[in-house]
Amino acid sequence: MKPSLPGMDPIPAEVVPEWQKIFAAPRPGGCSVYPEIFENGWLFPLQRMRETEKMIDLARTITPRVIVEIGSDKGGSFYHWIEGIPSVLKAIAIEIRGTPFADVFAAAFPDRRLLCIEESSYDPATVARVAAFLEGDAIDCLFIDSDKCAFDRDFDAYLPMMRAGGIVFFHDIRDADNSTETFERLSRTYKHESIIDTSEYDAIAAREAAGIAPASSYEQWFRIWKRRSCGVGVIYV
């Protein structure tokens, strides 16, 4: 499948100059969250900042060297995996709608090996490309935030490449049927936990009730989803 599929808009090229601005101002590595990414109307991840912070904190406990993100969108979350975890040496972003940020990231992180793929994550050809890029290295952390009807297919495709003791993160374990079902099924077999934190909405709801306009696109997104489209399921493999 290609990013030009009907009803699937490509990632806009406008993200490229926005990333260039971000990389023009060096930031300290190893932070669990970078609020300026969430505040950027072009780059903000479609995730909760507090949940992202806790996920990166948890990932850092196993000192990951290889991470794979399925559903990288505009690169906002992918940035956190690389900048926020200094131990990462190889990082793979898979986004069927395109990865226009790929060259900018490669230039910004010359000491990391990056692979950006613009195809279906569970297509056998994509899985084979990931395996070839790994060159025998195992995946330490796998973050699945892609096709909401196929989280199980992504898990099954990449599990053989995971290292023992690795962590799989599922986004949207609330309000995304396949994500919820897959996480609940795997929870009966694997050690697991959930990261659910919608506390950011407390202040946003108060601002909305007071008639205050959204301060950012991220806040506008929060006002639409409120306490839905959230939760990160954690599976220890």
Taking the C-alpha atoms of residue 73 and residue 60, their distance in angstroms, rounded to an integer, is 22
d(CA 75, CA 150): 21
pLDDT digits (tens, 9 = 90+) for 10-24: 999 999 999 999 999
In the chain, the amino acid numbered 198 is T
- Most confidently modeled of 132-136, 143-147, 229-233? 132-136
* Predicted pLDDT at 187: 95
Q: Are strands 162-171 and 191-195 parallel, antiparallel or unpaired?
A: unpaired
Residue 83, phi-psi category: left (phi > 0), alpha (psi -120 to 50), beta (remainder): alpha
pLDDT band at 2 (very low <50, low <70, confident <90, very high): very low
The tens digit of pLDDT for each residue in 135-155 reads 999 999 999 998 778 899 999
Q: State how far the Cα of 138 lies from the Cα of 86, in Å rounded to an integer.
A: 17
What distance in Å separates the CA atoms of residue 136 and residue 151, rounded to the nearest whole number?
24
Mean pLDDT score of the chain = 94
pLDDT value at 71 more than 70: yes
Is it the case that residue 202 has pLDDT exceeding 50? yes
* Topology of domain 28-236, CATH: Rossmann fold (3.40.50)
The pLDDT value recorded for residue 179 is 82
**pLDDT attached to residue 65:** 98
Kindly state the helix (H) or strand (E) to which residue 20 belongs, with its residue range. Answer: helix 15-24
